[in-house]
Amino acid sequence: MEAPLKKGRYLLPILITAAAITAAGLWFHQNFFRILPLYVSLFVMILSAQVNRYAFLLGGLNSILYAAVYFAYGLYGMAAYALLVSFPIQIVSFLRWKKHAYRSSVELKKLTGKQRVLAVAGFTGIWVLLYLILKQAGAAYVLLDNTVTLFGICISFLQMFAFLEYTYLMIPSGLATLALSIRMLPEHPEQIAYLIYSIYSLICVTVQLVNARKLYRLQQGGTKEDPHASNL
């Protein structure tokens, strides 16, 4: 598995998105601290798009920065998730993927039918419970905050155990995050920096889905195709 950041084609989308985020931050006099995690995330998402385990190491450290930013916006669910769930799980995920390494990635597997049913039932039940908790806590944008938070939790656990299905959830999660950024714009116009990143992230997770499926087929002996042939 090649090191994705060594390939010149990945530099262009990073530079374009970073420039757009910087321009938005300057235009709205955005506090640099609030957009700092976005710059780190540009590299995290490139690594994630290549199903590279080092995305967890960098992403876990970046979760601490995100927690502070989310708390400042009143997104308590996402703040708690970033600090108490995302940070430790990403570090553990990196260690687990390293233990079951396949090149710079991991040996992927799939959920059974029974596991999928249990996962859907659990998601629904926890969504209702978390919604009530966040509403009681007075969190802003409760519906989207709750949805993005729970998607993140599910994806984190599926990633930790290297279940291929995590990549399928990345798409609706990315769309929900994009919707949240749009919803916040009227009250927080400086949030356009996060909107720009959300679009970039959605592109990356789409590439990640394609690459993960190719990698899984390769591991199952179904193809000799390079799982990192997709372009951003």
Roughly what angle, to the nearest 10 degrees, separates helices 32-49 and 11-27?
160
Q: How confident is the model at residue 200 (pLDDT cuts 50, 70, 90)?
A: very high
At residue 2, the pLDDT reads: 44
Q: Which residue from 151, 150, 156, 158 is spatially nearest to 109, judged by alpha carbons?
A: 158
Residue 86: per-residue pLDDT: 87
What is the arithmetic mean of pLDDT over 28-43? Answer: 90
The residue written with tokens 């007075």 in the block is 138
Q: Using 50, 70 and 90 to split pLDDT, how confident is the model at 12?
A: confident
pLDDT at 145: 84
Mean pLDDT value across residues 105-129:
93
Sequence-distant (≥ 6) Cβ neighbours of residue 112 within 8 angstroms = none
Which residue is it, tokens 């979760």? 63
Which of 1-5, 15-19, 25-29 bottoms out in mean pLDDT, i.e. has the lowest? 1-5
More confident residue, 161 or 190: 161
Please, what sign has the CA dihedral across residues 146, 49, 227, 206? positive
Let me know how many helices (H) and strands (E) the chain has, helices first: 9, 2
Mean pLDDT on 40-61: 94
User: Residue 222: exposed, middle, or buried by beta-carbon count in 10 A (0-12, 13-18, 19+)?
Assistant: exposed
CA–CA gap between residue 231 and residue 213 (Å, rounded):
15
Burial environment of residue 120 by CB neighbours within 10 A (0 to 12, 13 to 18, 19 or more):
exposed
The pTM of the whole model exceeds 0.75: yes
Longest dimension (CA), the chain: 53
Give 107's pLDDT tier (boundaries 50, 70, 90): very high
Helix axes 142-160, 113-137, angle to 10 degrees: 140
Q: Which of 74, 91, 22, 107 is nearest to 183 (CA)?
A: 74
Average pLDDT over residues 157-179: 94
Helix (H, G, I), strand (E, B) or coil at 106: strand
- Decide if pLDDT at 17 tops 80: yes
